[in-house]
Structure 1
């Protein structure tokens, strides 16, 4: 970006530009979606973007949208394309008369993209809300302390299957990803997702397909339909020990909490899912290069010092947020320095 401190203000959202990133700030108010209010502001490095789009909006507006790189933002990876337009944290809506100005900044962003903008990011580049985090779902309360996720079941909503196994606790190192389904996504009203329709975000930044719930309404131990008041979604933890097992109904899976309108809303459950996904990816071991072509191994043995410095900076942020222990931070920092 050519100048520091440039500000582009739209409806409920402001973009403030720096040399290597932009700060997206969301206004508080009744017209601002709760998800954006909950996020508050987000620092987006230009290296976390794959492009930028400018299109005609509704009611005399234009829409400027930054396009995140796959794998760069755990929030968007967890959302997996389910967010409504109004909830998209990368959209800036402007009056139509400011189209020329919007086009100017779109071009400046394109000039600031990194050479690998079209390649999925190897690490998360956008930070998420730090632990501790918690939210109430329909059938239980989900809590995350930075090292483990706990599910405490509610007798008024949890199925008999969940009551039989009792409250659950999952360490980050036991998980490979998360599967988040929005209660507001199409096809969620009144029914659970069909077999094989679910996709989860893995620690590698890709979608992991798996069988999901069969058609039908989720029910609790009392036989009542759950949840009421519209569609329902869920947050499922993908366990390393169950990678080869088909995924069952979320209302019966002790590794999932079910929520709907009024329970586990998007602005509560999605940042939670993103924080868990970020912690899983941060704790994952460095991928093994054994068996890769020799040219790839040679290239991996000498990394760009600037990239190494950025990765260490990112690890430092995770360490400060409590997502990495002192030992984990020191070990991963040593691994990165060894690649120089």
Structure 2
């Protein structure tokens, strides 16, 4: 098609097999654009990623054109798991009511391009935000470089259980997914879900998020939606890619991977900072003498 339909926060550019959604910063309408839209920038959505299209009345003299993604087609939607507010739904285009006829035309064009209907997608069809990504949660700085997720605990926020476990580096090949709870809800968090080990033993039941070293928790002003949700989506996409490439389980290969991971050396300044934080916990009586000595030796071994 090649046409463009401009709404309050975005423009939809229609092509023969996809729609390019460009999120604007409110310059055209003067309406403040949600930070999630600003963070996403733009997204190309293939028609095969959609299950249906709706058009209906909105608020204050508007109409809303909404494309409904197929289950399993968009890692962002999968990570959100229905928790996004309507106002930050990236598949909604809000238009002035006097453009309803034009919107109906494009809705029909989209419907004509949909092929697979409501069947779940076998793989992600909409790209997640690209790594590297990072954000600050209440108890840690979370980083993702495309291959591994890292949690660096904040001594002012992390629980004793997390400090004892130490900073975490979680390769995507060891994960089966993520669990995201919106920071706009009470007790929000992002948890990395580990896959079953090579022996077929199920991963243990996770601890509460504030005591689980595979999770970071959100507090007021920490881990906002526009930072933590794209992060979760990028990890999900990487996990799916790693799963598709993963050969049959082989203990020798797993052992070799563990050796390779252990061979990675940490930045001396980073290790020194972590030892300083550990010392503060020790002096505060939150870590025993034995735990302090063992953890310090572990950190020094990373040099």
**Structure 2 residue corresponding to 1:240, chosen from 195, 198, 218:** 195
2:19 is the alignment partner of 1:9:
no
Larger-Rg structure? 2
What residue in structure 2 maps to residue 19 of structure 1? 16
- Kindly report which structure 2 residues correspond to 1:315-330, keeping only aligned pairs within 5 A, or say none: none
Shift of 1:287: 10
Shift of 1:142: 0.6
- Kindly report which structure 2 residues correspond to 1:183-222, keeping only aligned pairs within 5 A, or say none: 183-185=183-185, 188=186
- Kindly report which structure 2 residues correspond to 1:1-340, keeping only aligned pairs within 5 A, or say none: 3=1, 5-29=2-26, 31-114=32-115, 116-185=116-185, 188=186, 232-241=187-196, 243-285=202-244
Instruction: Write the distance in 2 (CA, Å) between the matches of 1:147 and 1:174.
Output: 11
Shift of 1:10: 0.8
TM-score normalised according to structure 2 size: 0.76
After superposition, give the CA deviation of every residue in 1:185-204 in whole Å (9 maximum; x if it has no partner). Answer: 4xx2xxxxxxxxxxxxxxxx
Three-state SS of the structure 2 residue aligned to 1:23 is: strand
Unpaired runs of 5+ residues, structure 2, are 248-303
User: Is the CA contact 2:194–2:203 (under 8 Å) kept in the aligned structure 1?
Assistant: no
Instruction: Write the distance in 1 (CA, Å) between the matches of 2:231 and 2:97.
Output: 36
Shift of 1:286: 7.2
Shift of 1:12: 1.3
Shift of 1:128: 1.4
Three-state SS of the structure 1 residue aligned to 2:11 is: strand
Three-state SS of the structure 1 residue aligned to 2:157 is: coil
How many equivalent pairs are there? Answer: 239
Shift of 1:240: 1.2
Instruction: Write the distance in 2 (CA, Å) between the matches of 1:131 and 1:244.
Output: 27
Shift of 1:241: 3.9
Higher share in helix: 2
Instruction: Write the distance in 2 (CA, Å) between the matches of 1:61 and 1:40.
Output: 23
Shift of 1:149: 0.6
TM-score normalised according to structure 1 size: 0.68
Shift of 1:285: 3.5
User: Is the CA contact 2:12–2:21 (under 8 Å) kept in the aligned structure 1?
Assistant: yes
Residue 280 and residue 287 in structure 1: after superposition, are their counterparts in 2 closer, same or farther (change >3 A)? closer
After superposition, give the CA deviation of every residue in 1:192-235 in whole Å (9 maximum; x if it has no partner). Answer: xxxxxxxxxxxxxxxxxxxxxxxxxxxxxxxxxxxxxxxx4110
Unpaired runs of 5+ residues, structure 1, are 189-231, 289-340
Moved more, 21-30 or 270-279: 21-30
What is the alpha-carbon root mean square deviation over aligned residues?
A: 1.6
After superposition, give the CA deviation of every residue in 1:245-296 in whole Å (9 maximum; x if it has no partner). Answer: 32321000000000133111100000000000000001114799xxxxxxxx
User: Is the CA contact 2:129–2:234 (under 8 Å) kept in the aligned structure 1?
Assistant: yes
Shift of 1:78: 0.3
